[in-house]
Amino acid sequence: MKYDFISKRKIFYVISGISIGLSILALALWGLKFGIDFSGGTLWEFRFNDVNIEKANIEETLRAKISGELMVQKSSDGVFSVRTKEINEAEHQNLASSLKSLAPDFEELRFETIGPTVGKTLQTKSIQAIVFAVLGISIYITYAFRKASLPVASWKYGLATIFTLFHDVIIPLGVFAWLGKFKQIEIDTNFVTAMLVIMGFSVHDTIVVFDRIREKIRTSNTKNFIELVNLGLNETVVRSFNTSLTAILALVAVYFWGSYTLQYFILAMIIGIGVGTYSSIAIASPMIIEFWLHQQKKK
């Protein structure tokens, strides 16, 4: 049974348009909450295994020894996260001793300090990595589909891929802008890694669909381009869904039972892979149809 994806493309456009609009609005209103990897400072995570210590107790103990910025959060599983100015090792040990005085079962989970200069450098390099990845992918797509220039020019496949990448990256960014505002979730270099992996996964799915369409153009007897694109989508949708579902199930397992330090990296991957699977089917190929229809009108 064949599903007519192309005839439903306007519904897909509305869904994606609303998602992109909300994501851009969230980024414009709240922006992303940068972690110490990008902004500099100290991130300290710890817990008390047997004693229930309240957030107010931690703030009172640390405030007596730390002047300036101090933010304390407590997760549902009892892990405290402290964000403050850059502190040295001597200050770190002094603060740890103060916390141990609250309860002897103090357990340190993570302690990281990054200077503001290093943070700025990481931020610049992360942006460069994403820009170069987008350019490289676009050039490759244009080259790979150079022999599929009829009835749509090969560079338009690259243009559709760029928009698909934007779609697949902007939505997770919007989600994390919301999480940063209301859940105080920060992004770090792991999040940038997740974005690059999402881009690669998205392009992989898009290339599979485009390649099947190219084969249909070469081998099919029908000359109806819309029918060829729809046929290519139907032949790849099950494969794309199964591949993505397998990856998402594995990531969900890691999210719930893996290391908490990678929890939001995994969450970004789950969102991105889900959105990327959708866009490769519902956005990338219909955009090729839009290019073709535009050419037909001009003729």
Residue/partner pairs of 138-146 with CB below 8 Å, 24 or more apart: 138/162, 141/203, 141/207, 141/210, 144/207, 145/210, 145/214
> Do residues 272 and 197 make contact, with C-beta atoms less than 8 angstroms apart?
yes
Q: Is the pTM of this model over 0.85?
A: no
DSSP letter, residue 114: E
Neighbours of 54 (CB within 10 A): 9
pLDDT of the residue at 247: 93
* Residues 200-251 pLDDT 10s: 888 888 888 888 888 887 777 767 888 888 988 988 998 888 989 999 999 9
Helices (H) then strands (E): counts for the chain: 10, 4
Domains of the chain: 6-36+118-298 (1.20.1640.10), 41-114 (3.30.70.3220)
Q: Which residue has the tokens 């200077």?
A: 115
Radius of gyration of the chain (CA): 24
* Residues 10-36 pLDDT 10s: 999 999 999 999 999 999 999 998 887
| Range of lowest pLDDT (17-21, 131-135, 168-172, 177-181) | 131-135
